[in-house]
Amino acid sequence: MSRLVLDGLTKAYGRLRVVDAINLSLNEGEFVSLLGPSGCGKTTTLRMIAGFVDPNEGRIMLDSQVISAPGSVLPPERRGMSMIFQSYAVWPNMTVAENVGFGLKLRKLSGEEVRRRVGEILEVVQMGHLAGRYPAELSGGQQQRVALARAIVVKPAVLLLDEPLSNLDANLREEMRFEIRRLHDEFKITTVYVTHDQAEAMATSDRIAVMNGGRIEQVDAPHLLYTRPRTRFVAGFIGRTNLIEARLEGGALGFGGLSVPSGIVPGADGAAGAVLLSIRPQSIRLNRDAPEGMPALSAEVESRTFLGETWDYVLRTDGGALRLRASASPLEVHEVGEALWLGFDPRQMAVVE
């Protein structure tokens, strides 16, 4: 049985449908991210789940009970949910321990129970030694850990996170995204996470719902979104890709003078005629000699950029039919103007809408 269900959920302001009839189900203990650019409707969706915004159409169900529908919205404080905001929202006049224990006191737990549970969760988030400090004495990452502890300690039915790492620097963001996933694996709380950062969503999520223009374009596990995108938007938003106009006829997919068997290309089933093909830069193999056993095109290095972990090459195929980006390891050094062969694996391509 699904823990949380969004059924035809819609929010409109006048004629503008900010969230447009979306459907999404989360299983017990699942971590799902709402990913998309600014203005795609992800934060409005989260606020409807929290009970801060009323839907115009559709409904939200928690454990098979309707908690939001037009004209009937259960207040946020009665939903058994915890929410973590972008600004942390820790109280400056309370110590770390007092911040974390505040929700437990509201639930009328005994002082001994509050102290026990606060102590346990602070050890889990590695903040036990800072229990007596005030927020002004903490770094941004430490304040975020306090916010996480405060949200988790009350054992919510659903945990909601609204771009919680956007105020942190790059190194702290990377550290905290793995911390959030570690805490999820330990407590198994059903979680909805809003972000515009693909790396955050990929590192934390069981599934990702990619939103665009108020709609969900695709919901899938992170690796499937990357390797088998279904739409042009998803292919371009999740990582980088080459989008190529191709033609599918008679079991063959043709582009740039090359023909590959379509039977093993994801998304090719049922397609015909002119199609759009997504090829990730990481899936193109660069060779000085024509590779054996795989389709290949000859090309010339047009430009290159060294990114530390990879080389980023821009290549122009013979005749200028295609301009492609390819990634290679730091040891694969090719000069501008060098002639190469580009090897393609049809299993790492995808036909998109």
The tokens describing 193, both together, are 């996470």
Distance CA 21, CA 19 (A): 7
Q: Which of 194, 214, 218 is nearest to 205 (CA)?
A: 194
**How far is the first Cα of the chain from the last one, in angstroms, to the nearest whole number?**
32
Please answer whether residues 84 and 90 qualify as being in contact, where contact means their C-beta atoms are separated by less than 8 angstroms: no
The pLDDT tens digits along the chain (353 residues) read: 689 999 999 999 999 999 999 999 999 999 999 999 999 999 999 999 999 999 999 999 999 999 999 999 999 999 999 999 888 788 999 999 999 999 999 888 898 999 999 999 999 998 999 999 999 999 988 998 999 999 999 999 999 999 998 888 888 888 899 999 999 999 999 999 999 999 999 999 999 999 999 999 999 999 999 999 999 999 999 989 999 999 988 889 999 889 988 888 988 887 888 999 999 999 999 999 999 889 999 999 999 999 999 999 999 998 788 999 999 999 999 999 999 999 999 999 999 99
In order of start, what are the domains of the chain with their CATH numbers? Answer: 2-227 (3.40.50.300), 240-352 (2.40.50.140)
- Integer CA distances (angstroms), 40 to 9, 57, 252, in order: 14, 18, 36
